[in-house]
Structures are given as structure tokens and as C-alpha cells.
Amino acid sequence: MLGFLFPCEGDANLDNSTNIQDIVLIVNHIVSELELIDDSFDNSDINNDGTIDILDIVSIANIILYNDDNQCIPIIDITYNIDESLPIDWIIEFYAIMSNLSGLIPAYQNYFENLTVYAWNSSVEDPYPGIEGGTYIGGSGEGFNMVLEINQMEFEWNHMHRYSVIAHEYFHVYQLSINQPMNEPNGGYNPNTFSIKWLIEGAATTFESMYVQNYYDYNYFINDLAYIDLSNNIHTNPSIFEDYSSNNLDMNYSCSVFMVLVLAKELMDLGYSEESAFKMIFQEFMLTGAKNSNWENYFLETFGFSVDEFYTSLQSYSLNLQNVVPSSSLSLQQIFD
């Protein structure tokens, strides 16, 4: 599918579509009559091997031949409603974080076009009619909402969560942009959506923790998650964490995070690098289009072991998050490169 993750694959002349004119430019590059640089180069180096050659031309010819629509896919449009009840330094930091996030994990219009952000300080009445308070992604494929009602106390205590929550919620936007089933309605069991909680929330909270480690040198895993007692259900009945009804046993998603971190450890035991392990969890698995009715097949296909085998392997890890936290030097940039 053209556009997927590589929104302008083959678009050497940067006109937002891929066609024969791009091949002409690339041939000129190969015979050294014209050098492609920057985005032109990146779009043309389809196999990412650092050179543009006949292999890339073959791939681009296939794109032109086998895709109906060779238009590039734009980035999701974001509309901001940032209430004046928020401290100015938070607002400034918010825009900086959104800019970092759209560089790290840009969300493209694969399945939906618009995102509307509503942010306010919990000290005031909900200021946007029809928008309920809390921190969540709501709405539907018509256009999603990112709601950030930041607890007043987080400003008083300078709590890292006032920033990390932005990364958490934006990560859900990214997940929605790469996994079509997540765009289907959930609430109640829907086989056609994807709502396996420990994978969705465990990944979002792990991403959030890595974000503040990378940008603020703050270890959210250790400072904010590791003190929570992990439910023994991780050993005895881990499938309960597939459902959001287990939230009362999964404070701040600590159990879901633990399961995601063990999954990364298991992948590293198989020889994958730490970066690759998290890329598989954050991105590759979601890109399979896994949904509730078939996610176990895609889990096996992506990770090389079954969900049941993974659940059994959890028993060999003591229920202490500290034992499975990722390296503090792990960089999101490297994971998503």
C-alpha cells in the first residue's frame, strides 16, 4: 500500500505523487546527470540501503503499476483548543512535545484525517461543550479528539505526568493511524476492532515512559510505576489483561507495562536488539492489521511464539517491574528509524 509509513515512497520530484516522471529523475541520478538529495533521495531509496539503484527503480515501477492511487498520504490535520486556564509554561511545552512527537512518529491520514485537541486545567469547569473531562482519545473515524484535562495538582507538584500524558495520548493517535481495526467502534466485544488492553495500553505507557526518559532524563518506570504492587494474575490468569474491565487490577497500567517489557525481553532472548524488540511491539505488530478475532495469529507471525507460550513464559519473571525496565539509554529515535 503506497503511503503506508513511507508517505511519499518513490516521489523523487516531491510533487506528492509517484509516477513515470520520478523514474526519469532517478535514472538521471543513477547516470550521474543530476544528484538527488534530502527528501528526494530518501523517497527514492526504497530499500533504504543508502544508494539509489536499479533495485529501487524496480520497486517504484511496481508502485506505479500496482497501486490505483499514487498520491502521497498527508499528515493528520490537528486543530488545537488550548484553554487559557492552563499555565503558559505548560502550553509552550505542550507545543514542543507535539512537535517532537510528530517528528518521531508522524501520524498519516491512512484511516482518518482529523484530530482535535481539547486541553484544560481541572481547576475550571469543562470549558468545551460536549467534551467530557478526563485524558483520553475519543470520537470516531469521522475525526478523533484528544482530551487532556490536566489535574491541577500536577502543576502544583510539577508532576512529570502533566507532560508524559501528552506522549501517551499521541501514541494512541499513532496506533489508530497504523491499525485500521482500532478505528472501528469498541465498547462491548467487537471482533472487528482491536482492543487488547495490555498490548495497547502497555505499549502507550511504555512509549510515554521512554519519552520522558529521552527528553527529561526522568525514569518514569522506576519513579512512577515500579512502586505499584503487580497483580498475581500476571502469573495465574494473564488473559484478563486483554480486557479493559481489568483496569482495577492494573493501576496506571503497570501490569500491562510489565507484560510489554517481558515481551521485549523474550524477543531479546531470541536475539533481537532492544530497539528491534520495541519496534516490533510498537509498530510491526500493529501494522499487521490485527483485530480481536485474529490477533493471536498475527502475534505468532510477528513475534515467533504464540500468545499462550508468551503467557506461560511470564511465570518465569518475578513480579517486579524493576527487573524488566529497558536500558535508560534506549532512544525512541533509534526505535522508529
Cell of 73: 498520504
Q: E strands of 113-189, at which residues? A: 114-121, 135-140, 143-150
How near is the Cβ of 167 to Zn ion at its closest, in Å? 11
> Rounded to the nearest whole angstrom, what is the least distance from the CB of residue 209 to Zn ion in the complex?
13
- Backbone phi and psi for residue 121, each to the nearest 5 degrees, phi listed first: -90, 135
C-alpha separations of 293 from 189, 190, 283, 287 in Å? 10, 8, 19, 16
Return the C-alpha torsion angle 304, 310, 314, 316, nearest 10.
-60
Instruction: Report CA dihedral (155, 161, 162, 166) to the nearest 10 degrees.
Output: 180
User: In the complex with Zn ion, which residue's Cβ is closer, 204 or 264?
Assistant: 204
Output the smallest distance, CB 3 to Zn ion, in A: 26
Choose between 253 and 317: whose C-beta lies nearer to Zn ion.
253
User: In this complex, which beta carbon is closest to Zn ion, that of residue 44 or of residue 246?
Assistant: 246
Residue with Cβ nearer Zn ion (207 or 298): 207
CB proximity list for 79: less than 8 A, separation 6 or greater: 114, 115, 116, 117
Nearer to Zn ion, 250 or 266 (CB): 250
Nearest by Cα to 200 from 139, 241, 159, 154: 241
C-alpha torsion sign, points 234, 159, 175, 181: positive
Name the residue with the smallest CB distance to Zn ion: 204
User: Is the Cβ of residue 201 or residue 275 nearer to Zn ion in the bound state?
Assistant: 201
The residue ranges that bind Zn ion (CB under 5 A) are 201, 204
- φ/ψ of residue 81, rounded to 5: -120, 100
What is the nearest approach in angstroms of Zn ion to the Cβ of residue 257?
Answer: 11
We find the least distance from the C-beta atom of residue 204 to Zn ion, in angstroms, to be 5
Q: How far is the CB of 248 from Zn ion (least distance, A)?
A: 16
